[in-house]
Amino acid sequence: MTRPAPAIVILGNGSLATARSIQRLYPGALIHGLDERVVGADRTYREFGATLRELYQQDTPIIALCAAGIVIRTLAPLLMEKGAEPPVLAVAEDGSAVVPLLGGLAGVNVLAREVAAALDVSAAITTSGELRFGTCLLNPPSGYALGDLELGKRFVSDLLAGESVRIEGAAPWLVQAQLPENPQARLAVHVGHAERTPAANELLIYPRNVLVAVGAGVVDVPGTVREALHQAKIAVQSLACLLAADSEMSSPTLREAALELGVPLRFVDDVGAASNLMRNAIEQPVSVFGDEAVAIAVAKQPLDPSSIGRPRGRLAVIGLGPGAADLMVPAVKAELARANDVLGYETYVRMAGPFRADQVLHCTDNREEMQRARHAFELAAQGRCVVVVSSGDPGVFAMAAAVLEALHESRDPAWHNVDLEILPGVSASLATAAQAGAPLGHDFCVLSLSDNLKPWDIIEKRLDLAAQADLAMAFYNPISRSRPWQLGRALEIVALHRAADTPVVLGRDVGRPGQTLRVTTLGQLTPDQVDMRTMVLIGSSTTRVFARPQGSLWVYTPRSYGDKLVDIN
């Protein structure tokens, strides 16, 4: 239940020093700097508004080094919606002021005090309860859940109006607070896991110290869990996590039940043995409900679900796009942020960074694809969150097929139980085409010229037929030191069916530093203009070019053949 690391967002180099001081407080926090204004940020962004809103919607705590007004106006459209409300702080560029803006129940004041202490100023705390009592009663620490927010607000305003309070049960975090305590008080903070109807004069806080183990074959898991807790007189708010057997890992019923109950789902080899092991830490004996469908264990202290068994492992095969951060899809960014392990060819792993100190990088040679795929499953089967990176799209001459092949070959149920997802990226052919205009605007085909994994005859045959069929073509892996002659031969085959003035686009390192884009013709193209970092796009018979104002050319293939109905035989 630890919060994700905050994003520190800056608009200019002037705030970089302050940003760095704040970053030191939060391992994993990244500095997001405005592109072209900030040199040396961890991430760059182009649009302040879109970036801030995206972070907010992903529930990422935000520390923005700019005027509070800018942050308020930027996030205003999102505030009417229900949903995530992460802490949002505005910090003066020079570090002289720290203003908590949003996320009172998500710990913004705690964050503000930490940042302010590091900058040696005081935080602009405006929350009355917090000012008076030194803690936000409505935001208990992790491991505890507030019963009812609306009743809680009323409770705090009664306290602020001068009433005193009793504390029932164990509330170690309130020992430091400056609450007006009085054993005879009408108001009571009640901490406990017993099911209880909240009274108007009570603030109920539930320790999350209850574990429910669910057996196989329970149809209505949330209903059964609620009923079992009710019969045991335990509040559902005290449920810390659901536990199930490893063999149930891929069960959608359990996954949905955990989501509905709002608790993590953890797995162990043998549920019975696990509950027995837990007896030491258990206050109330395990109670079994309905033919052992569910078993309840109550611990003395709040439970940390991350220390119980393991979660269902996840393996995501992701596409980074060609290289530029703004061409990476948001789902891929989110996946990189949640990863425990990142596997891939070193160049791509580096491209996917920076990473936090707790993330493990497994860099391998580009050729060890099957080995990498198997390693990824081994890690994910242990319950880790694993990412395999590819450049461009993972399904285009990259890792997705290798990962599926490894799974298909495996009989290990633990591998098949992994939560596997393939997340797409912008492939090099599409990124190159977009820069040139729309050379792939009509039917086209994609070919790898590498004969490492297929016979050269097949490549020749496909080239011949694709050229005959008047398809525009995208060549991946066009040439390398070990494959020096293949491109020349490929071009000869294409030239049998296509005119010398057919437009050709060469994109090198597209979306990466030092990218180049060149428009030439089939007749002028020679293999020495191409290397393994180049994308080769060959036009069809209808592909056209025209001048851009700056002197370069637009290339496009019209969507229709119009009156140019060519005979493709």
Would you tell me which residues interact with ligand SAH (CB under 6 A)? 322-323, 390-393, 396-398, 427-428, 432, 476-478, 507-512, 532-535
Shortest distance in whole angstroms from residue 32 CB to ligand SAH: 23
- What φ, ψ does residue 356 adopt, rounded to 5°? -80, 160
Tokens representing residue 472 in the block: 């525009």
Q: Which is nearer to ligand SAH, 210 or 389 (CB)?
A: 389
Nearest distance from C-beta of residue 480 to ligand SAH, angstroms: 8
Distance separating alpha carbons of residues 111 and 3, to the nearest angstrom: 11
Q: Which is nearer to ligand SAH, 173 or 456 (CB)?
A: 456
Instruction: Calculate the dihedral angle through the C-alpha atoms of 288, 293, 298, 303, rounding to the nearest 10 degrees.
Output: 160
User: 224 vs 390, which CB is nearer to ligand SAH?
Assistant: 390
CA dihedral 387, 389, 393, 397 (to 10 degrees): -120
Q: φ and ψ at 445, to 5 degrees?
A: -135, 160
Quote the least distance from Cβ 491 to ligand SAH, whole Å.
15
Q: Smallest distance from the beta carbon of 393 to ligand SAH, in angstroms?
A: 4
Nearest to 71 by CA among 92, 46, 45: 92
Residue of 37, 58, 153, 167 whose CA lies nearest to 104: 153
Closest CA to 39 of 61, 19, 69: 19
Shortest CB 123 distance to ligand SAH, Å: 45
Q: How far is CA 218 from CA 84, 287, 303, in A?
A: 31, 17, 24
Residues whose CB falls within 8 Å of the CB of residue 274, separated by 6 or more in sequence, listed in order = 213, 243, 268, 308, 309
Six-digit token string for 544: 């056209």
Of 371 and 516, which CB lies nearer to ligand SAH in the complex structure? 516
Residue nearest to ligand SAH (CB): 392
Shortest CB 297 distance to ligand SAH, Å: 48
Between 67 and 532, name the residue whose CB sits nearer to ligand SAH.
532
If the CB atoms of residues 414 and 446 are measured against ligand SAH, the closer one turns out to be 446
Rounded to a whole number of angstroms, the minimum distance from the CB of residue 332 to ligand SAH is 13
How far apart are alpha carbons 52 and 43 in whole angstroms? Answer: 13
Nearer to ligand SAH, 221 or 504 (CB): 504
State in angstroms the smallest separation of the CB of 372 from ligand SAH. Answer: 14
State the SS3 of 379-394: HHHCCCEEEEEECECC
**Closer residue to ligand SAH, CB minimum distance, 33 or 344:** 344
Q: Are 88 and 102 in contact, with CB atoms under 8 Å apart? A: yes
- What's the CA gap between 485 and 491, in Å, rounded? 10
Q: Which is nearer to ligand SAH, 322 or 344 (CB)?
A: 322
Task: Output 275 or 435, the one with its CB closest to ligand SAH.
Answer: 435
- What does 196-259 look like in DSSP terms, one character per residue? -PPPTTEEEEEE--EEEEE-TT-SSHHHHHHHHHHHTTB-GGGEEEEEEEGGGTT-HHHHHHHH
- Looking at residue 439, its amino acid is P
Instruction: State the minimum distance, in angstroms, from the CB of residue 40 to ligand SAH.
Output: 24
Least CB distance from residue 450 to ligand SAH, whole Å?
Answer: 8
